[in-house]
Structure 1
Amino acid sequence: MSKLSATMLISASVFAATNSEVETFLKNNLSKNPAISSLTVKVIERNPIDGMKGWDSFIVALDAKVKQGKEEREVKQRVIYFANDTVITGELTNMKTGKSLRDSVAPQFKADYYAEANLIYGNANAKHKVAIFSDPLCPFCRSYVPKALEYMKQYPETFAVYYYHFPLERLHPAASTLTRAAVAAELQGRKDVTLALYTVPTTITRETDEQKILDAFNKAVNTNLKVSDLHAAAVNAHVDADNSVIESLMVSGTPTVYFDGEKDATKNRYKGVNVK
């Protein structure tokens, strides 16, 4: 389901449009597409835009069934919109900087996203919480994540490090199998699996054969997993839980880092913490 990018009129109100007005307008507009059915529209977050009186940003959850040829598939999508009392649009750009205001809109990192299953280093009640979303075959991730983890794991009372698997399958087909293998190994009690995951050779990046990918993982991590282990119910549940958080936070690239619940564009706020 394509995202709306054109500017549209919405019913007038004294201030920025209400959640109900935004939901009703979008549902009526999107429902005109004959390929879309069973559409639900829900504003899940809204915030005022700094320096733009009367304008709010809206994070909207769109759930629908979409016809593609003879098939129908379920689509769940979160989209950012901006609205004042008369206009709604998918894009606003700062004329002075040329930057899209979409870049400044991010969903809140909710407390329940810090799941015990994602805590790989530190104590849950540590002074700072760091959440990392990563693909083990992403070049930037491979240069950033191991160093960040090696540093923060030294200070368990300072950093609680939470890791979420985000394989970018279109770019790195082998990443999905690798992350499943890592989850399976962790469930079997292996420690430091995440760090070991980044030692798997990138030569398998484009590989799609699960057994060949698993062989590379077993060799690098010194495990003896079977393909069937990758699809155990507990592994599926962990993967689904990570995907749910990724979707809720609208994470789109790797590595993405949150520091104490706020998106860290620098990815290095942990370095400024006094650990003594």
Structure 2
Amino acid sequence: MSLKPSVSITDHAQGNDNADLVIVEYGDYQCPYCGAAYPVLKELMKEFGSQVKFVFRNFPLSEMHQYARPAAIAAEAANLQGKFWEMHDAIYENQGSLNEIFLFELAEKIGLNVSQFKTDIQKAELEDKVDSDFESGIMSGVNGTPSFFVNGNKFNGSAMDLFQVIRENAVN
């Protein structure tokens, strides 16, 4: 399966914007497998961040994970203050404590303007962004989290397997 739509400026990306290697993760903030992949991806970006563009798209499995969608919306709200990745990381690093009240504590912890955050999380366009990420996942054949795409093609491996792919492609 291939990635639809392809990566654009509406996506959350880190690393090298002009990298030849683009990794997209469809993730759910409450998914234990995404939680386990998180430190691996963090390490991968530390080692290869100059050679990789990493994109995160929301894929909250709301029926199984009651806080996945609120967490996705919280990360999108943090993005409005330029702190998407700080919130993304804070959620995964505190995944076991996840609940709606805790999201406000994280907002404060990462230095967001909390009253602005409270207003922002109610904005319909944040829900629309989460929904459009989710729909792009469905169109791309995502059926679980985390799901990875490498240069637009579905990657049937784990976060650890990504290391191997990147090592093979890395320019030393």
Give TM-score scaled by structure 2 length. Answer: 0.80
- CA deviation after TM superposition for structure 1 residue 201, in Å: 4.2
Partner of 2:75: 182
Partner of 2:129: 238
CA spacing shift, 1:183–1:139, aligned 2, 3 Å? same
- CA deviation after TM superposition for structure 1 residue 123, in Å: 2.7
Equivalent residues of 2:78, 2:107 under 8 A apart: no
Aligned length: 164
Question: Alignment partner of 2:70: what SS?
Answer: helix
Equivalent residues of 1:119, 1:160 under 8 A apart: no
Counting aligned pairs with the same residue, the percent is: 24
Equivalent residues of 1:127, 1:159 under 8 A apart: yes
TM-superposition CA deviations, 1:13-69 (whole Å, max 9, x none): xxxxxxxxxxxxxxxxxxxxxxxxxxxxxxxxxxxxxxxxxxxxxxxxxxxxxxxxx
CA spacing shift, 1:219–1:137, aligned 2, 3 Å? farther
Indicate the RMSD between aligned Cα atoms, in angstroms.
Answer: 2.4
Equivalent residues of 1:118, 1:164 under 8 A apart: yes
Question: Alignment partner of 2:76: what SS?
Answer: helix
- CA deviation after TM superposition for structure 1 residue 153, in Å: 4.8
TM-superposition CA deviations, 1:45-101 (whole Å, max 9, x none): xxxxxxxxxxxxxxxxxxxxxxxxxxxxxxxxxxxxxxxxxxxxxxxxxxxxxxxxx
Whichever residue aligns with residue 172 of structure 1, its letter is H
- Does structure 1 residue 202 correspond to structure 2 residue 93? no
- CA deviation after TM superposition for structure 1 residue 239, in Å: 1.5
- CA deviation after TM superposition for structure 1 residue 203, in Å: 3.5
- CA deviation after TM superposition for structure 1 residue 147, in Å: 2.2
Structure number, greater radius of gyration: 1
- CA deviation after TM superposition for structure 1 residue 159, in Å: 0.7
Give TM-score scaled by structure 1 length. Answer: 0.53
- CA deviation after TM superposition for structure 1 residue 251, in Å: 1.3
Partner of 2:33: 140
More helix, by proportion: 2
- CA deviation after TM superposition for structure 1 residue 219, in Å: 4.9
CA distance in structure 2 between the aligned counterparts of 1:182 and 1:247, rounded to whole angstroms:
21
Equivalent residues of 1:168, 1:175 under 8 A apart: yes
CA distance in structure 2 between the aligned counterparts of 1:155 and 1:200, rounded to whole angstroms:
25
TM-superposition CA deviations, 1:119-154 (whole Å, max 9, x none): 321233202110101111111111112321342254
Question: Alignment partner of 2:10: what SS?
Answer: helix
CA spacing shift, 1:219–1:246, aligned 2, 3 Å? same
Point out where structure 2 has 5 or more consecutive residues left out of the alignment. Answer: none
Whichever residue aligns with residue 182 of structure 1, its letter is A
CA distance in structure 1 between the aligned counterparts of 2:34 and 2:131, rounded to whole angstroms:
21
TM-superposition CA deviations, 1:105-125 (whole Å, max 9, x none): x3x224x42122323212332
Equivalent residues of 2:25, 2:56 under 8 A apart: yes
Question: Alignment partner of 1:117: what SS?
Answer: coil
CA spacing shift, 1:203–1:119, aligned 2, 3 Å? closer
Q: 1:265 aligns with which of 134, 156, 160?
A: 156
Alignment of 1:79-94 (within 5 A): none
Equivalent residues of 1:122, 1:160 under 8 A apart: yes
Equivalent residues of 1:137, 1:172 under 8 A apart: yes
Question: Alignment partner of 2:54: what SS?
Answer: strand
